[in-house]
Structure 1
Amino acid sequence: MVFKSDYPKFDQEAPPDDFDPAKPYADPVAMLEHREFVVREKLIQVEKAKILRQRLQHCYWREGVNHYQKCRPLVQKYMASLQNIGWGKDARPAYLNQL
């Protein structure tokens, strides 16, 4: 049994204010906090996409041959959620592509 007090609590819900993308190594602590923030946000996007995929699979199963019409909004939402998920060069922020 999991209690609410067992869930992790994060100090930051936003990126650190003192992080400068032009000079990322100027403040190592801010750089690491920013990296943790980016990773956490990516993982949240991945989990949202997984939930949408499960809903889509259930919709396909439930609707049968009518899934083209009935599941179209869910497919569009799922495809939109997949746009910027990933760890490749295309999904990185623009200032990191110069490194």
Structure 2
Amino acid sequence: MAQAVLNIIVNAKDVIVQRGIRNGKIHVKTFTENSNKIILISDNAGGIKVIPIDKIFEPYFSTKHAKSGIGIGLYMTKTIIEKNNNGKLEVKNEDKGAVFTIIF
């Protein structure tokens, strides 16, 4: 689970740097709602430009060069969360950027 969360944070950092976002920010918020544990990871990098957005979770999908990133990709991140930890990973764009929601 820690590797999955780290991958989302590293991806957000990479997009902030790649797009030259001044005062780039990544927020991580944890809370409990209706007995579910929730982790929200959001950034201010302008959102995910892929349509449909869920395509980012497909195997072999990448917006990075082969030498970039930590290597597990969002497909493996989703697999780790959903299959190995009985959780759920969702993504959406909001006003300033992407928001990943992990529910378990």
- Same fold at TM > 0.5: no
**TM-score, normalised to structure 1's length?**
0.27
The structure with the larger Rg is 1
- Higher RCO (CA-CA < 8 Å; seq separation 6+): 2
**TM-score, normalised to structure 2's length?**
0.26
Q: Which structure is higher in helix share?
A: 1
